[in-house]
Amino acid sequence: MPEDSEVRREVEHLRDELRKHEYLYYVLDQPEISDADYDRMMRELDRIERAHPSLIAPDSPTQRVGGKAREGFVKVAHAAPMMSLDNALTTEEFLEFDRRVRGLLGEEQPRYVAELKLDGLSMAAQYRAGHLVQAITRGDGVIGEDVTENARTIRSLPLSVASKFADFEVRGETVMNRAAFEALNASREQQGLSRFANPRNAAAGSLRLLEPSVTASRRLDFLPYYVLREGKPAFDTQWEALEWLKHHGFKVNPNRRLCDSADEVLDFCSKWEAKRGDLPYEIDGVVVKVDSIAQQEKLGATAKAPRWAIAVKYAARQAVSEVENITVQVGRTGALTPVAHLKPVSISGVTVSRATLHNEDEIERLGLKIGDFVVVERSGDVIPKVVRVQTQGSYRRDFHMPAACPVCNGKVVREPGESAWRCININCPARLKESILHFASRGVMNIDGMGEAVVDQLVDRGLVKSVADLYSLTLEQLESLDRMGKKSATNLLNNIESSKQNQLPRVITALGIRFVGDRTSKLLAEEFGSMDRIASSSETDLQKAGEVGPKVAQSIALFFSESENKKLIERLRAAGLKFEYPRVSKSTSAVPLAGKVFVITGTLPNLKREDAAAQIEALGGKVSSAVSRKTDYLVAGGDPGSKLEKARGLNVPVIDEEQLISLLKGEYNHK
Ligand code: IVH
């Protein structure tokens, strides 16, 4: 039947979309749509599948608990699945939940516990004999990732608990509060790194860092809401569990209420919706749970979620405002991004006056003109977005992308298949500033202190016209900048000087060639061994490096063919940057550390950890994150942690930084 195939198509479409967004959200931590939009799509799919049960497939997004756990950490099964919750998006939907609960309980009256729904990352912490032994992320609900080392750095998570139970599991939410989030983003901006979109992503990114010491600096918080013993609730009621947690050193959210009626619950929900901006952390709703565990057991669960709990979701935080103007920003790649300037409007306590419009096509899709009234949304994201035009303005006028770069007046082009217009003037000051920030950023040339404020002044005063000029800056010039004392100027100059020690892969990344990030840079350096060989390779030859396809090869060849870039390369060579990369041939003994596996732990006195790793790799060694029988050396610095014990247990040789340096210089004899 044609109707049938139409339904089938719609179901497939929804599944594909949901899968894509689950991947973006759960695996990459880079959501592109709001939770509300996602929830709406999921319900629509659920509705259709219910109406056409023959279409239900085991791999439908409605048929599983959550997303896939991602690579990188050891995967561990949960003692009992970490379920997700059904959502109520309206009062009526909550009342329906209440009616269903009462219906199923018969004579018994439910009591509800209303808790704030924190917008973070759920995690299970296992305690044995009162000690924290393992922390696992939710993952797909059945299997999560072992993040014990990182979780131990969360100060609100007790490492040991004095209790009558020896073994138990605590589940809760790992969050980053607004202050820590703002501070982290400010410092990332200073270093020229990209901002985290919202506290949830910042928390997820921080919990899954391979480097626990960095996690420690990120100030995460753990707020528990559940206690299990042998995979079952440990108390008779949810409220008791929260009280127990509170009295055993856990940071239980104080904003909760025991409610005897649906009205009380709704009152709690609206009270916190109004006050959510005052909280130190983001919430996206209220979780309502039946208090009695006996009743919870009676109510049971569906394949996806318990029937005794529901998440009352708050509407995405939106407001209507007038678009007073649209201007255009120019990024490092020269991409022109239109930005809406709004009449300032408060959205859950934050004043919003700008929203990104992404690109020309988006403006067309929205049908937006200057003077229109638009719906603006802050879905936890830092950069608010325009959702739709609410009312057309009476005196609305068209916006056109500028015919020339708004910063340098240079030519702009939009290539076929691309959504962005780009300024193609390599010396455009806007591009230059972004290029310098990228060049100096952590993980690239690592020039600490070369933040936005400094770069703005260097470019605006004409002291730097190309990244190569960084290497001829003098102490006097740096000291002349606003808010720059002698000490910081000296430090900055030293940092510029020591950046010359970076290995070739970083130098390649620093050039900011389109599509060439740190991974590709490394593969290029390994394949070709020197900047000159890369620069002189044809597009066909470039594709010999792993993972380099025609598009990337074309971009690299184009970069090295432009005369301005050729000049830049020569100036960087003259400045003394590393253009050679010791070739690692797998078989020869000329590669001193070939096949040797290193693990680095603790803080090294001089070398940054990533620099030590780069040097080891440059000599053919491998750096791994976990100690095993295959480890040849553990390089231990200050505060080494559990890896040191493990290495000793396995008889893995432990060396310090000095011994590592001798090894790197070939002065230390390894066994
Ligand atoms: S209870 C079966 N309580 O919301 C019980 N969850 O949509 C499941 N969340 O995965 C969780 N605050 O990450 C519960 N007070 C709270 C919560 C909470 C936030 C998160 C949690 C869960 C998701 C469910």
- State the maximum Cα–Cα separation within the chain, in Å, rounded to a whole number: 86
Whether residue 71 lies inside any domain: the answer is no
Q: Which of 115, 123, 173, 290 to mutate to test the pocket of ligand 1 (most atoms within 8 A of CB)?
A: 173
Lowest mean pLDDT among 42-46, 167-171, 287-291, 468-472: 42-46
Confidence of residue 69 (pLDDT cuts 50, 70, 90): very low
pLDDT tens digit sequence for 404-426 = 999 999 889 998 878 889 998 87
Kindly tell me if the per-residue pLDDT of 325 is higher than 60: yes
For ligand 1, atom 10, name the residue with the nearest CA: 84
What's the CA-to-centroid distance between 667 and ligand 1, angstroms?
A: 56
Query: What is the 444 CA–ligand 1 centroid distance (Å)?
Result: 38
We report the CATH number of the domain holding residue 133 as 3.30.470.30
pLDDT at site 152: 84
pLDDT at 361 over 80: yes
For ligand 1, atom 17, name the residue with the nearest CA. 117
Tokens matching residue 367: 């049908």
Report the pLDDT value the prediction gives residue 548, as an integer from 0 to 100. Answer: 85
Q: In this prediction, what percent of the chain has a pLDDT beyond 70?
A: 92
Q: Is 277 in the pocket of ligand 1 (CB under 6 A)?
A: no
The pLDDT tens digits for 453-488 are 999 999 999 999 999 999 999 999 999 999 898 999
Decide if 422 is inside a domain.
no
Crossing angle for the helix pair 262-275 and 91-105, to the nearest 10 degrees: 150
Q: Structure tokens of 255? A: 């904003």
222-231, 377-386, 403-412, 509-518 — which is least confidently predicted?
377-386
Kindly tell me the burial class for residue 290, based on how many C-beta atoms sit within 10 Å of its own C-beta (0-12, 13-18, 19 or more): buried
Number of other residues whose CB lies within 10 A of the CB of residue 664:
18
Closest-lying ligand 1 atom to the alpha carbon of residue 305: 2
Q: Is 252 near ligand 1, meaning CB less than 6 Å away?
A: no
End-to-end Cα distance, the chain? 74
Give CA separation, 442 vs 160, 194, 485, 506, 567, in Å.
36, 11, 22, 10, 25
Q: Is the CB of 35 under 6 A from ligand 1?
A: no
CB of 175 shorter than 6 A to ligand 1: no
- For atom 9 of ligand 1, which residue has the closest CA? 117
How many Å lie between the centroid of ligand 1 and the Cα of residue 242? 14
**CA 309 to ligand 1 center in whole angstroms:** 9
- From residue 565, give the alpha-carbon distance in Å to each of 31, 426, 440, 511, 562: 36, 9, 18, 9, 5
Determine if ligand 1 sits within 6 Å of the CB of residue 306: yes
> Nearest residue CA, atom 18 of ligand 1?
117
Residue 181 and residue 274 share a domain: yes
Average pLDDT, stretch 29-55?
A: 81
Residues 105, 250 within the same domain: yes
Mutating to test ligand 1, I would choose from 83, 87, 122, 299 the residue with most ligand atoms within 8 A of its C-beta, which is 122
pLDDT at 588: 41
Based on the fold, state whether residues 509 and 496 are members of the same structural domain: no
- Domain shared by 476 and 526, yes or no: no
What's the confidence (pLDDT) of residue 336? 93
Residue 85 gets which letter from DSSP? Answer: -
**DSSP one-letter code for 262:** H
For ligand 1, whether the C-beta of 117 sits within 6 Å is yes
CATH code (residue 44): 1.10.287.610
Inside any domain, residue 590: no
Exposed/middle/buried for 47, CB within 10 Å: 0-12, 13-18, 19+? exposed
Cβ pair 147, 122 in contact under 8 A:
no
Q: Please report the atom of ligand 1 found closest to the CA of residue 87.
A: 7
Lowest-confidence segment of 67-76, 218-227, 331-340, 401-410 by average pLDDT: 67-76
Ligand 1 closest atom vs CA 301 = 2
Residue 66: per-residue pLDDT = 27
CATH number at residue 605: 3.40.50.10190
303 and 328 together in one domain: no
Assess whether 236 and 135 both reside in one domain.
yes
Q: Coil, strand or helix: which one is 326?
A: strand
Q: How many residues comprise the chain?
A: 671
Residues 118 and 225 in one domain: yes
Residue 534 has pLDDT above 50, yes or no: yes
pLDDT of residue 651: 84
Structural domain that includes position 549 = 504-575
Q: How far is the CA of 230 from the centre of ligand 1 (A)?
A: 20
Quickly state the pLDDT bin for 201 (edges 50, 70, 90).
Answer: confident
**Count of other CB atoms within 10 angstroms of residue 598:** 21
Instruction: Answer yes or no: is pLDDT of 165 > 50.
Output: yes
Provide the sign of the torsion angle of the four alpha carbons 191, 196, 199, 204, taken in this order.
negative
pLDDT at 194: 67
pTM greater than 0.75: no
Residue 383 lies in a domain: yes
User: Rounded to an integer, what distance in angstroms lies between the CA atom of residue 414 and that of residue 321?
Assistant: 30
Model confidence at 571, pLDDT cuts 50, 70, 90, reads: very high
In the reported structure, the alpha carbon of residue 290 is separated from the centroid of ligand 1 by a whole-number distance in angstroms of 14
Residue 80 within any structural domain of the chain = no
Point out the least confidently predicted range of 26-30, 121-125, 152-156.
26-30
Return the CATH number at 327.
2.40.50.140
Q: Is 81 in the pocket of ligand 1 (CB under 6 A)?
A: no
Residue 406 lies in a domain: no
Residue 15, pLDDT > 60, answer yes
Share of the chain above pLDDT 90, in %: 47
Tell whether ligand 1 has an atom less than 6 A from the beta carbon of residue 14. Answer: no
- 497 and 511 both lie in a single domain: no
Mean pLDDT for all residues in the chain: 87
The answer to whether the CB of 196 is under 6 A from ligand 1 is: no
In this prediction, residues 546-571 reach a mean pLDDT of 89
Last residue of a domain, one of 444, 474, 501: 501
Question: What's the total number of domains in the chain?
Answer: 6
pLDDT at 72: 59
d(CA 135, CA 171): 9
pLDDT reported for residue 591? 65
User: Which among 113, 117, 118, 109 is positioned nearest to 257, based on CA atoms?
Assistant: 113
Query: Sorting pLDDT into bands at 50, 70 and 90, what band is 67?
Result: very low
Tell me: the pLDDT tens digits for 233-269?
Answer: 999 999 999 999 988 888 999 999 999 999 999 999 9
Q: Which atom of ligand 1 approaches the CA of 311 most closely?
A: 7
Q: Is 145 in the pocket of ligand 1 (CB under 6 A)?
A: no
**What value does the mean pLDDT take over residues 364-388?**
85
- The residue whose CA has the least distance to atom 4 of ligand 1 is 117
Query: Are 485 and 514 within one domain?
Result: no
Please state the rounded mean pLDDT for residues 542-554. 86
Other CB atoms within 10 A of residue 589 CB = 7
Residues marked active site are found at 117
Among the three residues 455, 480, 501, which one is the final residue of a domain in this structure? 501
For ligand 1, whether the C-beta of 255 sits within 6 Å is: no
286 and 139 in a common domain:
yes
290 ligand 1 Cβ < 6 A: no
Judge whether 287 lies within some domain. yes
Residue 592 in any domain: the answer is no
Residue 263 shares a structural domain with residue 115: yes
- Is residue 256 located within the same domain as residue 302? yes
As a whole number, mean pLDDT of residues 296-314 equals 93
Strand order in the sheet with 622-624: 622-624, 597-601, 633-636, 654-655
